[in-house]
Structure 1
Amino acid sequence: MPLPPTLRTRFTAYLLALHLPLFGCATLLLPARPALFVGAEAALAASLALGWLLLRRALEPLGYTRRFHELLQDQQYAGRLAAPGMRELDDLVGMFNAMLDALHRERLALGEQQGFLDRLLEATPGAVLVFDFDRRISLLNAGAAALLGLAQPLGRPLSHWADEGSGDGDFDGAFDARARERSRDLARQLDALPLHASLLLTDTGGRRYRARRGQFFDRGFARHFLLVEELTAELEDSERATYERLIRVLAHEVNNTVAATGSVLDSLLYYRGQLARQDGDDFATAIVAARRRNASLGEFIDRFTHVVKMPALALRAAALGDVVDDILWLNRETCQRRGIALGWGRRDAAAPMALDVQLVEQALLNIVKNAIEAVEARRAALAHAEAAQMHDAAPAPQDFIRVELAHDDADGGRRMRLSVIDSGGQLGAVPVRRLFTPFFSTKKGGQGIGLMFVREVLNRHGCTYSLAPGADGETRFDIWFPADERTRHR
């Protein structure tokens, strides 16, 4: 389809259509009045030239408009149009230049704001993920990259990593199998987070996060973003402070009661001689039982008090392998009597590190003791199941507690990983985040003090740790000691 004629073409056609007939009429004067003919032709030529000049001046604003459009299209907001020296055009050019100046200032402000936003996102310790209109990742900061460890995340939805079928190549090479599973579980929870919701999430490693999904509008369409902040340390500190206050109040009240009750019970024993022999023996037995129970109550409170009143770390250079050797030696006879294989599975050479040996030994004793009790509980459950089936079952493999001390390959071997692995497999479906909280225990009659003490010791040494089911029904307690041997004094 042909394009319509331009305004310049139409004006030119109009001038020609007006003057050509007049030129034709002027030729009639040539035979009779040559001088008048020349004058008429000259006047018509001058009129045509003036019309053409006025046409150019009238259409000149269109040229400035075109140049202004070209500057906008090329985003050359710092450019300016030259004033032609005509009042009307000067006003138009001044208006165009004012618009360019306003756009230039706005672009500078937006660029500064974008630069500040980029630096803010990189400096933010929390994770920030921004999605496009199709909920594919379009931006993530360093915190999100470190938290999730996603390989080539841009242009992909979170559901890509939440899927169980995602392979190792979809994650950072520094993430081991456990870290990939933790990242996959967290990505699944984040992908399912509703809009405008702010929830507390827990990953498979027991770490806790506050996650919020929001939205903003871009070119009239809604885009989503996620803010994820790890709260593990803050929540543990808050829980510790709450438990300290609670236990101190309980210890004060219980100790006062135990002391008074013990004194009264000791005084009552003086009345034994005033009773008949048989009644006196029964009386003394009851009093002794009450004293024993009273003392047990005091010891129960003391165990909690020792956790919250843990002394400051007394650090000295020590070989972690030698500390573990002592623990294995102390439990060797116990495990032999119970038919549990206890020993090293792997032991890499490790440089001495700064440890409070007494606290670390006590923590490791708790871990090994829990492993022995888990193995015993599994044996009891198997024996009960065999008795219920009333027939011979296949012989169970030998129970074991295996210790490994190895360089962590995930960070290039800078950190040491100490693992205590047992065949008890008693964690089952226990929520991971509840394992290190007071008053919670997987053992019947347990008080939850042991793991609370272990958590406190490891946190003070700056260690990270994980207690979770392993392969083939095993239970793994992994501890990563800091690479620079520094500790966090709490």
Structure 2
Amino acid sequence: MKLRTKYILFVSILHLLTLGLTFFIFNEKRIYFIVAEVFIIISLVIAVQLYGQLIRPIKMLLQGIEALRDRDFNVKFLPTGKYEVDELIGVYNQMIDQLRTERTQQEEQHFFLEKLIYTSPTGIIILDYNNCIQQLNPKALLILGMDEKELTGNNISNLNHPLFEQAGILKAGETITVKLSGITTYKLQKSHFIDRGFQRNFIMIEELTAEILAAEKNTYGKVIRMMAHEVNNTIGPVNSIIQSALKSDELWEHQPDNQLNNALQVAFDRNQNLNHFMRNFADLVKLPEANRKQTDLNQLINTVVELMQLKAQEHRVELLFIPSVDPFYIIADISQMEQALINIVKNAIEAIEHNGVVTFLTDPQSRQLVITDDGKGISSEQNMQLFTPFYSTKKDGQGIGLTLVREIMLNHGFEFSLKTIAAGQTAFTIQF
């Protein structure tokens, strides 16, 4: 039963009872009965006025509660002139002003945070209480290469992506570095915040490829320059002395079998090979800026096929290329791109070893070149080391072939990848 009903019921019973008692008590004395009736009427009027003064604040409170329930912080009450009610109205209005101010600050902070997350150069993935993806910023979508609809609402442990596989084993506060496709490197960091008393996690994905490549190149560049300097300073004078000795006939008059002469010639040739070896490393460091010109990719591939035909025949490998009818123009440094393609084809032939096919597929629509081979493929361990300077799976490999390809591609700003896409099918893809 409501308070209003209780009050009306109590006042009604009290006045009816009083009216009945006065009737029985002053039944014979009419004047007293009339006076009693007047007092009862006055009491009833006062009760009604008290009812209004008591119930009105309660009604106002109910209206305020309804406004708060609807999250409307603009409803305020005017003073009534009654002290108790005005005190209540003042406290309510002060509370509403404070709530409105805090709500405005909260919305401003939320808007700023949303803007910050949206424009952040770091990929951010916000998870809900069950580790399901609730929100991603554009950078995270770009890094993952997936659509927002297929990610939102899914648990990260159920998504097939190497970054999610690593993020799933991370604990809040931990950081891990992940290398994909042999070149792209990301830093994953997992942290948390408190939302309505519960801990929620979020994942930050930061690409470190450019920084790592720059530091890597700076490091091996210093080593190569030092090695080249020392080798050249040694080989130059030594070869000069050997050549002078070989050209001096008097030294060989008493050497009918020419053993010493032959030994010096072998030493000279080895020095030349060492010089050539170091020059390959020096070329990696001294790669000039790309002299970009418009060129037909079809003609460039035909040139590379002709150059590599002899090596392919030695391994009984077929180089298969069917050029498109229309020219496929790209803007590139012809000599650098030719060198890169030669290294790619050379690696493909060596991966096949004997009896296989290297296929060139161009797609002018998507501006893409895919070079596939049916060799032994790339293991997961090798995939992590691809394009790493001085890393090679061959016994006599220098480990600079793919590194040179990497530098040329980066020099042009072309996207590229090398991976085994199916059993017996490895593809090097270049996106122009």
TM-score (norm 2): 0.91
Q: Tell me if 1:455 matches 2:406.
A: yes
5+ residue gaps, structure 1? 163-183, 380-397, 408-412, 482-490
Aligned residues: 430
Partner Cα distance (2:61, 2:226) in 1: 82
Deviation at 1:455, TM superposition (A): 0.9
* C-alpha distance after superposition, 1:364-389 (max 9, x if no partner): 1111222222233xx3xxxxxxxxxx
Q: What is the aligned counterpart of 1:153 among 130, 151, 154?
A: 151
Which residue of structure 1 lines up, in the alignment, with residue 234 of structure 2? 257
Deviation at 1:17, TM superposition (A): 4.5
Partner Cα distance (2:123, 2:322) in 1: 38
Partner Cα distance (1:190, 1:138) in 2: 15
Q: Aligned partner of 1:465: which letter?
A: F
Q: Aligned partner of 1:210: which letter?
A: K
Deviation at 1:272, TM superposition (A): 8.5
Which residue of structure 2 lines up, in the alignment, with residue 21 of structure 1? 17
Which residue of structure 2 lines up, in the alignment, with residue 53 of structure 1? 49
Q: Is the 8 A contact 2:182 2:387 kept in 1?
A: no
Indicate the SS of the match to 1:277: coil
Q: Tell me if 1:366 matches 2:343.
A: yes
Partner Cα distance (1:46, 1:14) in 2: 17
Distance 1:445 1:205, change over 3 A: closer
Indicate the SS of the match to 2:159: helix
Which residue of structure 2 lines up, in the alignment, with residue 355 of structure 1? 332
* C-alpha distance after superposition, 1:247-296 (max 9, x if no partner): 12222222222234334545666898568834983333333333332332
Q: Tell me if 1:399 matches 2:376.
A: no
Q: Tell me if 1:326 matches 2:303.
A: yes
Indicate the SS of the match to 2:151: coil
Q: Aligned partner of 2:295: which letter?
A: A
Q: Is the 8 A contact 2:420 2:427 kept in 1?
A: yes
Q: What is the aligned counterpart of 1:312 among 289, 293, 309?
A: 289
Which residue of structure 2 lines up, in the alignment, with residue 290 of structure 1? 267
1:413-428 mapped onto 2 (5 Å cutoff): 413=365, 415-428=366-379
Indicate the SS of the match to 2:376: coil
Distance 1:117 1:356, change over 3 A: same
5+ residue gaps, structure 2? none
* C-alpha distance after superposition, 1:420-468 (max 9, x if no partner): 2223225334432422121111211101111111111111111111111
Deviation at 1:211, TM superposition (A): 0.7
Partner Cα distance (2:107, 2:276) in 1: 66
Which residue of structure 2 lines up, in the alignment, with residue 386 of structure 1? none
Which residue of structure 2 lines up, in the alignment, with residue 102 of structure 1? 98
Distance 1:436 1:318, change over 3 A: same
Deviation at 1:38, TM superposition (A): 0.7
Deviation at 1:76, TM superposition (A): 1.0
Q: Aligned partner of 1:244: which letter?
A: G
Partner Cα distance (2:192, 2:303) in 1: 57
Indicate the SS of the match to 2:201: strand
Indicate the SS of the match to 1:215: strand
Q: Is the 8 A contact 1:418 1:478 kept in 2?
A: yes
User: What percentage of aligned pairs have identical amino acids?
Assistant: 32
Distance 1:141 1:91, change over 3 A: same
Distance 1:320 1:95, change over 3 A: same
1:169-180 mapped onto 2 (5 Å cutoff): none
* C-alpha distance after superposition, 1:21-67 (max 9, x if no partner): 33223224544321221111101221232133223313332222211
Deviation at 1:198, TM superposition (A): 0.8
1:156-195 mapped onto 2 (5 Å cutoff): 156-162=154-160, 184-195=161-172
* C-alpha distance after superposition, 1:366-423 (max 9, x if no partner): 11222222233xx3xxxxxxxxxxxxxxxxxx4222111114xxxxx3x321122223
Q: Tell me if 1:135 matches 2:131.
A: yes
Deviation at 1:339, TM superposition (A): 2.7
Q: Aligned partner of 1:134: which letter?
A: N
Partner Cα distance (1:427, 1:38) in 2: 113
Distance 1:136 1:471, change over 3 A: closer
Partner Cα distance (1:334, 1:262) in 2: 31
Indicate the SS of the match to 2:361: strand
Q: Tell me if 1:238 matches 2:215.
A: yes
Which residue of structure 1 lines up, in the alignment, with residue 429 of structure 2? 478
Deviation at 1:470, TM superposition (A): 3.6
1:208-247 mapped onto 2 (5 Å cutoff): 208-247=185-224
Deviation at 1:220, TM superposition (A): 0.7
Partner Cα distance (2:182, 2:252) in 1: 62
Which residue of structure 2 lines up, in the alignment, with residue 37 of structure 1? 33
Distance 1:349 1:45, change over 3 A: same
Partner Cα distance (1:90, 1:281) in 2: 122
Partner Cα distance (1:447, 1:467) in 2: 19
Deviation at 1:325, TM superposition (A): 0.8
Indicate the SS of the match to 2:224: helix
